[in-house]
Chains A and B, each alone.
Chain A
Amino acid sequence: MTVLDSKIPEGPLETKWSNYKSHVKLVNPSNKRKLEIIVVGTGLAGASAAASLAELGYKVKAYCYQDSPRRAHSIAAQGGINAAKNYKNDGDSVYRLFYDTIKGGDFRAREANVYRLAEVSTSIIDQCVAQGVPFAREYGGLLDNRSFGGAQVSRTFYARGQTGQQLLLGAYSALSRQIGLGNVEMFSRHEMVELVNIDGKARGIIARDLKTGKLERHFGHAVVLATGGYGNVFFLSTNAMGCNVTAAWKAHKKGAFFANPCYTQIHPTCIPVSGDYQSKLTLMSESLRNDGRVWVPKKQGDKRKPQDIPEEERDYYLERKYPSFGNLAPRDISSRAAKEACDDGRGVGESGLAVYLDFADAVKRLGKSVVEARYGNLFDMYKHITNEDPYQTPMRIYPAVHYTMGGLWVDYNLMTTVQGLYATGESNFSDHGANRLGASALMQGLADGYFVLPYTIGDYLAGEIFTKAVPTDHPAFVEAEKAANERIQKLLSVKGNRTVDDFHKSLGKIIWEYCGMARSAEGLTKAKGLLKQLREDFWKDVRVTGGAEEMNVDLEKAGRVADFIELGELMVNDALQRNESCGGHFRVEYQDEGEAQRNDAEYAYVSAWEHKGVGQEAQLHKEDLVFENIKLATRSYK
């Protein structure tokens, strides 16, 4: 029944990728010059792909909505990037990185893709060092590593707390070089608003110049989406303000299946929401849980100052529930436990949506200077934002959305279900299953862009060498531009009473409440109705100011929120059909004493949704996950 062909190469896991590379079709240099590739997004996945493809000789056009490709949100990643270098001689290997990633993803990722990711991880570090990325060094001049969650080895490379910034600036430098050489044409402050398909193949995009508002038609023999995740569907997340699903969603509406949309990751240690005006959330490094103790008052509605609550009236709930892991319980578990405490009326702070992360014991045990040496910069950051001193009073933290594992369905070649349309990095679904491990997002973005796509795209383009560039007055371009324009006009013509942000906040509340850390059939069914209503209200009552042909920030946001509402409906459907709990998807009906209960017999598949029209039920396709090398096991942290 399935129409999905994952195109996993034959042969043993360890040799699949090298065999693939030896037999993949090639495009000769003179033909590469005639082939044009569109790359949307310039984060780690997009910038690395655009630069590498241009180096190979293809004609590349790259697009980003920011004012410069250097600003993509990969830049905000702090911790590090994993690679199976085994520089520490501590027993790391490609297989171990592969296994940790599959297990971390709660056995819901495709073996062959993850193995390839682990395999190319080592080349990424080599590439970045050669580009001048200033990784942390030891005194002997060699590279330093740190350890990270979900692993027993030190395999994380880092550049202070700014690893994402340095890796992105490395990719940006490679991209800049190719722009300077004339091999990449760069379109900053441009947003993709339509995909153009001709005879079932992706052949271009319609982009809106955000400076002038003008719609432009761009042809490509292939189109690559490297457009990031959709965490901003929740309104509040650790994503940048402009992060959006629009490009991926337009592709979805033109035939690209959307996979596992309900797999979202909620990070347990963020600075909590302080008021209705709040626009985004800030992550505090998870490492704080090494020495901080998480607690809430035992009594509901206890409004005393934390210092005034005696020891016996505090509930150190992680230590109580998970004695063997305590405050270091994994992300999904810790996040859910915080939510439960707050739902129980025991949350702290003005909003009641926070828990304490207390360092009083650590200061007593280690002394202030040791705590300062370990976490000083994080304490400063916290104080700067909240105006509270964590040496004096416990930090208040709360979980926040920060990564989405779901995304466009892709095969082993990273091609979507639309011929010639690729999705890379966070915008695809392929490598993290139902839960991503720390320091793996940077690895995947760069693996896709530097080392996977440059090979796999050739396999497709080898068959396109006789395809002439399609003139952009082709009816498919005209029609796509017309559709984009009509939608813009429609947004401007509603002239209703509610602002775009107002709708976005309503959307965020619904998704957070019913499709956030804990989900139930009852809640999801309710959310379905609420979202349908919200979509209808949006198109009846939204107010968008200004005009189409000018810089119009209100209009930009309106288009993105309209797409987020439709995506929200799909997320809820996906969460509803998955009658199990796994990774970031926790259905309250499926638990065993609070632990996620996976159902491998019935749900070891990727859900890939086919769009059937707005307001119509999308059609579910299933890609069965076959585990040939790994034995499925249960995770327990008690």
Chain B
Amino acid sequence: MKFNLKIWRQKNAQVAGKMVDYVIDNINADMSFLEMMDVLNEELIRKGDEPVAFDHDCREGICGMCSMHINGRPHGPLRGTTTCQLYMRNFTDGETIYIEPFRADAFPIIRDLAVDRSAFDRIMQVGGFISVNTGQVQDANNIPVNKADADLAMDAASCIGCGACVAACKNASASLFVSAKISQYALLPQGRIEAKERVLAMVNQMDDEGFGSCTNTGACEAECPKGISLTNIARMNREYYSASIS
């Protein structure tokens, strides 16, 4: 297979970036998208050019590190997959593919396709936890959890923190990411104790990081590789309002 690639190249955060054209040939349909990028990079290195920087690590859809915007969609055209789970057979021979970084003010570009998502970490640091020290705890079965709640908490906890929700949102809102964590804890008895403080702190930090507001377009849910549900945002809003008035 042969592809025309238009890839965002930017040396660092200080200089302007631009789309650069590459042609790549002899691509096997069973290659993953990132392996196609590996092939391109090997070609670039052989020519003495610098390879395209992009984030990736586990290459099995769980670490949340890969982050490309492909043909205008975070993680590309398939639903429920990360970029590393995309294969070249998902594209047509001769196609032009646009590859850009996730774009949001709160995700500044580091180089080429790699962006800085440390804003997510900082949101977690103000409330994305249950305050319990190692060794302080009781026997695990002393905290029974309703199975339906535990399953919903697990659904929310499946978030991989990749930031596709932010990249998909026209407002660059982080509501789906933040609400997934708030929901997980709100649904569990262990998490109820600090529920008020948590939701207020995390929502405020989200605003401080420069993420936009949620206007319920649902683009985040549609593009989320892990299928995190929009109902988490509703749950976060309810938690937030009840925490604000009480």
Contacts and interface: CB of A to CB of B under 8 A. Distances in A.
B130 A132 contact: yes
A141 B118 CA distance: 36
Given A141-B145, A173-B128, A130 B137 contact: yes
A131 B132 contact: yes
A174 to B, nearest CB: 6
A274 B87 CA distance: 13
Contacts of B85: 384-385
Given A55-B133, A55-B134, A71 B53 contact: no
Interface in A472-506: 499, 501-502
Contact of B53 (A52, A135, A172, A551): A551
Q: Sort chain B's interface into a size bin.
A: 35 or more
A233 to B, nearest CB: 17
Contacts of A502: 42
Given A87-B141, A132-B184, A545-B48, A68 B190 contact: no
Nearest to B30: A274
A551 B108 CA distance: 14
B87 A387 contact: yes
B135 A451 contact: yes
Contact of A67 (B11, B51, B55, B111): B55
Interface in A372-403: 384-387
Interface string B76-114: 000001000101010000000000000000000011001
Given A140-B144, A176-B121, A384-B85, A279 B45 contact: no
A439 B32 CA distance: 29
Nearest to A184: B125
A138 interface: yes
A68, A73, A85, A166: most-surrounded residue (chain B CB, <10 A): A68
Interface stretch (B151-159, B164-172, B210-218, B227-235): B151-159
Contacts of A130: 130, 132, 136-138, 140, 143, 190
B134 A241 contact: no
Nearest to A386: B30
A292 B114 CA distance: 42
Interface residues of A, number: 77
Contact of B50 (A134, A282, A546): A546
A137 interface: yes
Contacts of B145: 137, 141
Contacts of A385: 85, 87
B48, B57, B134, B145: most-surrounded residue (chain A CB, <10 A): B134
A134 B157 CA distance: 8
B150 A73 contact: no
A142 B146 CA distance: 8
Given A127-B135, A277-B28, A132 B58 contact: no
B56 A545 contact: no
Interface stretch (A33-41, A94-102, A157-165): A157-165
B89 A387 contact: yes
Nearest to B56: A241
Given A75-B62, A180-B125, A451-B134, 18 more contacts: A48-B134, A52-B135, A67-B114, A70-B121, A70-B161, A71-B65, A126-B139, A126-B140, A134-B150, A137-B151, A169-B157, A174-B132, A211-B116, A241-B56, A277-B35, A278-B35, A553-B51, A554-B50
What are the 10 tightest A-B residue pairs by CB atom distance, in nearest-first order? A141-B144, A180-B125, A173-B129, A130-B137, A134-B154, A129-B140, A52-B134, A177-B129, A240-B57, A134-B153
